[in-house]
Structure 1
Amino acid sequence: MLTELAHVALLLGSLLILAAPIGRHIARVFSGERTLLSPLIRPIERGIYRIADIDENREMHWKTYASSLLVFNILGIAAVFLLQELQGLLPFNPDGLGPVRWDTALNTAVSFTTNTNWQSYSGEQTLTYLTQMLGLTVQNFLSAAVGLAAAMAVIRGFTRKNADEIGNFWVDLTRSVLYLLLPLAIVWALIFASQGVVQTLGPYVISHGLEGTEQVIALGPAASQDAIKFLGTNGGGFFNANSAHPF
């Protein structure tokens, strides 16, 4: 009982201590102010704006902001769906998996794009490494970033009572990924990998037991997906057993 109470107290204490500094950091990020990571990330951010022809100083009306968010999510659903249907023809498929059944593919695409991440399949038997990385892991980043962007738009809507603009969706999306989600995900992925969470593009391993039985040990780039899964409050997992997997 005392141990459980100590865990709760540690969690609440950590939240109280970290809330203010993290809140200030998030505020600086979305305001475009200089942060500790700016010297490293700012050139990348500017490069993205230049390639995508985005004016970071131009804000949007709420209707434009909302339509940009919806179009981005629709394109995300289409991309993840097509990736699943074409995965048999694409690289990083060491187990020779074929296309996903269309209804399962559509459900997966919608759920991961909307940050629901509900799964009706076994990851190691259904999706290739490329689909897991380029489809689901990327959407774990983007769906969380879309949520952060939407939250910032709502906050600006309340604080700017008489303003027509509520920020720029593309800028909020980019900053969410570059300054908040990606740095933390890299740190957590390295911690997970150092503790034994599998992170490899190698093929599945065949193990032979003492009684001669054969067992297929599924591998894959799981640490990188688990890191953003926890940070982005995403569901779903690389393996069927999700985070209960011994890896």
Structure 2
Amino acid sequence: MNTFIFERYMSCWCPSYSSRPLSHTLLQIEWNYRFQELPRKLIIALSKYHAIILTMRLYEWIASKWVDQEMMDRLTIDTFLYAKRKSEVEGKRGTELAREMFSVSWRANLISFLADYSVHQVIMLYAYYCYAQQKRRKSEDDSVVSMQSNDDMPQGHLILFAVRKSTLLGLSRGIALGFSSIGAGLGSMIAPSWGTLIGTNLGDGLAASLTEDLVDHP
């Protein structure tokens, strides 16, 4: 926006001004930055994905020790095949299938969303820990008076920020679980199996976009 205003101003008061070199330079800088950050972002995304999968398997193993076989089947059921079987074999359609798929999808996705929350919770707490350690090392270079006057309150605020972000992270994951279950129900009304899968992902994506600001780190 600032670049656009600058170019409009120069084109009005200086007709001989050409904004193309400036625009091309800014665009080149932006794309260079994106390409430089791409490998790091891919590594982070793959690491998160595998961490969530491993955490899911851990939670499934723990659940198998605490719940019976029937509940374990509900927690690990394939919603795609379940919706297809209910539609083709039992002939369920419309709101009846949607209500059933909502509850089935909620239980089936509970472990995966809990694993996602756990991984992001660990990442967030580690980020706050690194920030606190950096702040502590910096305060050690200051005088004792400076430490007592400037370090106590920020440390308390840091703990409050961590608790607040942890709560908001759990809230955002709970909203995503609810939205994905609603999407699974609505998708099953339109097209059981594939509609269930697409609706689940659309609901999760919608919840992520709505709660994006809740989980941004300060």
TM-score (norm 2): 0.35
**Which has the greater radius of gyration?**
2
Greater share of residues in helix? 2
